[in-house]
Amino acid sequence: MTDGHGVLLVGLWIIVLLACIGSQHLPSAIGSDDARAVLLCALLLNIALSLLGAIRHRRLLADSRLCRTLEARVQTLASRDPLTGLANRRTLAEVASGTMITAARRGLSIAVLTVNLDNFRSVNEGPGHEAGDAVLVDMAEALTALIPPSATVARLGGDEFCCLMTFDAGRPATVDGLVAAIMARLTRPLAVGRESIRRTVSIGIARTEPGDMTIDAAMRRADIALSAVKKAGGDAASWFDAGMGRELAVRNAIEAGLRTAIPAGRIVPYYEQQIDLSTGRLAGFEVLARWDHPTDGILLPDRFIPIAEEAGLVSDLSMSIMRQAFEHAASWDPGLTLSVNISPGQLKDPWLAEKILKLLIETNFPPQRLEIEITETSLFDNLALAQSIVASLKNQGVRLALDDFGTGYSSLAHLRALPFDRIKIDKSFVMAMADDPECTAIVEAITRLGHSLSVPVTAEGVETAAIAGRLRALGCHKVQGWHYGRPLDVQQVRRLLADRSLLGTARAA
Ligand code: C2E
Ligand code: CA
Ligand code: CA
């Protein structure tokens, strides 16, 4: 029985009781039957209303208690990171304004530390997500224990942590001391179940000067310092310096340039020959992006593809390159194939297959002449989505190659996860075959693996006839590299094809 029911029963009992008492005593007091009846009704009504009020009051009290509990829960969820209980990004922003005021009043600087685990992904993918969570919780506990009481630590997302602390601008060694303690504590192996997880961390540090910089600007600088540490191999800490700022300015200029270069068609396809090793014939081309820059000449993709990926521009860039390449190749010999590189970010786009198939239809390029190259890293984030994209493309006859095999995980599980039509051995092993027996052994092992899975193998980075000969002996199917020619622009390809009578007449490029 609920509280409400209880109150109701007691109420009814009182009504009955009062009604009995009232009917016995009222007649003598009042005298008339009518007046007595009216008074009795009024009395009963009064009691009933009081009871109803009491019940409603209790309900409202309970409701408001529930609301307050829910509100507190929502506030905790909105301000704390649920896994570690640390402040989240929003709370850090609120705390930061208070820290700025305190620092200004006391003439102190603020140090911002961005702390990041190296290769955290390998913990989630190796020992598993539970181990990954344990590492994050331990990291949060360590940071909380090490920072001074007036400092704040927050988890900004993933394995990204941030500490804010005030310090005397003349004594940056206090910050260095804390950083050294964090590095020492967080590089200790962590026991999770039966596993002992080894980890290293990278730390970027930046400071505000009294009265000049905002925390946001300091956080951006700490992030830049962190990226510099990561780029140099991680497992270290570094203060932000002006040189890193210049690097950021160059990066931003490239991003801004890409925003106009892509729609203007200034990112153009170059073509690298792919040769069938058994016949020595030209089989097709790998499409490689080049930026035809108005002042800097032809820029290589390493300068701009990673930035295009970060800035979310790689899909537009890729579609523009593919459109140009399909239009060019439509007039070449129909036996020639095109291999295009698809970056990891593109495989997170659920519409990728539709976009490519639409482009094939619009340019009238047969899907059977297209091969897409993806790397193992593309498969980490969302394997199921990658599988569905690949299935849609393969249904239409597009083929699939696993690029840069041998670097990264080189896992058989990844090879089996998707129906690859080709494995491409990374050029670093092929180029080193001449003087590194270990690389020769790797190339041999990958070629054998390809044979046992009945998946043909391409070797890239073939720079000499001698290496080509050894690859042929190993049973490699296709090759590409400087020995066969540097990547060519479309006019150079047309001349090469015209010389070999491989230029169709279907359409002019
Ligand atoms: P990748 O897919 O591994 O492409 C092969 C790279 O090796 C190309 O560099 C090619 O020029 C170079 N290469 C080929 N043979 C040799 C050789 O014998 N010796 C040497 N030293 N190098 C050789 P490139 O054109 O600079 O491209 C670099 C990377 O940029 C590519 O590596 C690919 O990951 C990426 N990339 C290029 N174009 C595109 C594109 O359109 N979209 C995407 N997402 N990535 C692209
Ligand atoms: Ca490639
Ligand atoms: Ca490659």
CATH code at position 291: 3.20.20.450
- Domain match, 230 and 343 both: no
- Domain match, 190 and 106 both: yes
Contact 186, 173 (CB under 8 A): no
State what percent of residues in the chain have pLDDT above 70.
Answer: 84
Q: In this predicted structure, what is the pLDDT of residue 90?
A: 81
Q: Which residue has the tokens 């181990």?
A: 131
- Domain match, 128 and 217 both: yes
> Average of pLDDT values for 85-110?
87
Cα-to-centroid distance, 324 and ligand 3 (Å): 21
Q: Which of 110, 106, 92 is nearest to 167 (CA)?
A: 110
Q: How far is CA 481 from the centre of its chain?
A: 32
Q: What does residue 458 show for φ and ψ, rounded to 5 degrees?
A: -110, 140
pLDDT tens digit sequence for 443-468: 999 999 999 999 999 999 999 999 99
The pLDDT mean for the chain works out to: 87
Element (H, E) at 399: strand 399-405
Q: Which of 481, 440, 478, 447 is nearest to 462 (CA)?
A: 481
- Domain match, 57 and 123 both: no
**Tokens for 230?**
């990561």
Please report whether residue 256 resides in a domain.
no
Domain final residue pick, 207, 240, 273: 240
Please report whether residue 258 resides in a domain.
no
How far is residue 486's CA from residue 464's CA, in Å, rounded to a whole number? 13
CATH number for 195: 3.30.70.270
Give the range among 29-33, 411-415, 417-421 with minimum mean pLDDT. Answer: 29-33
Q: In this predicted structure, what is the pLDDT of residue 76?
A: 54
Q: How far is CA 236 from CA 67, 111, 163, 176, 205, in A?
A: 47, 17, 16, 12, 11
pLDDT tens digit sequence for 16-49: 555 555 555 544 545 567 666 666 766 677 766 6
Q: Which atom of ligand 1 is nearest to the CA of 321?
A: 41
Please report whether residue 311 resides in a domain.
yes
- Whether 238 has a pLDDT exceeding 90, the answer reads yes
Element (H, E) at 268: strand 267-276
Contact 166, 191 (CB under 8 A): no
- Domain match, 432 and 389 both: yes
Cα-to-centroid distance, 404 and ligand 2 (Å): 7
Please report whether residue 251 resides in a domain.
no
- pTM greater than 0.75: no
Q: Which ranges constitute the DSSP H helices of 202-272?
A: 215-231, 242-261
Q: 358-362, long-range: CB within 8 Å, 24+ apart, which pairs?
A: 359/319, 359/322, 359/323, 359/326, 360/326, 360/396, 362/323
What is the count of structural domains for the chain?
3
Would you call 373 a catalytic residue per the annotation? no
- Domain match, 142 and 51 both: no
Q: In this predicted structure, what is the pLDDT of residue 8?
A: 53
> Average of pLDDT values for 390-406?
95
Spell out which residues line ligand 1, taking CB within 6 angstroms: 272, 288-289, 300-302, 305, 318, 321, 341, 343, 403-404, 427, 431, 460-463, 480-482, 487
- Whether 130 has a pLDDT exceeding 60, the answer reads yes
Please report whether residue 250 resides in a domain.
no
- Domain match, 474 and 327 both: yes
Q: In this predicted structure, what is the pLDDT of residue 12?
A: 57
- Domain match, 134 and 44 both: no
pLDDT tens digit sequence for 323-368: 999 999 999 999 999 999 999 889 989 999 999 999 999 999 999 9
Domain final residue pick, 79, 101, 128: 79
Structural domain boundaries enclosing 451: 263-499
> Of 286, 327, 376, 460, which is the active-site residue?
460
> Average of pLDDT values for 463-487?
96
Q: How confident is the model at residue 11 (pLDDT cuts 50, 70, 90)?
A: low
- Domain match, 137 and 155 both: yes
Cα-to-centroid distance, 286 and ligand 2 (Å): 7
Please report whether residue 60 resides in a domain.
yes
Domain final residue pick, 24, 50, 79: 79
- Domain match, 50 and 93 both: no
**Burial class (CB within 10 angstroms; exposed 0-12, middle 13-18, buried 19+) of 295:** exposed
- Domain match, 40 and 97 both: no
- Domain match, 299 and 320 both: yes
pLDDT tens digit sequence for 248-257: 888 899 999 9
Please report whether residue 376 resides in a domain.
yes
pLDDT tens digit sequence for 184-229: 999 999 888 888 888 899 999 999 876 667 788 888 899 999 999 9
Please report whether residue 381 resides in a domain.
yes
Classify residue 209 by its DSSP letter: P
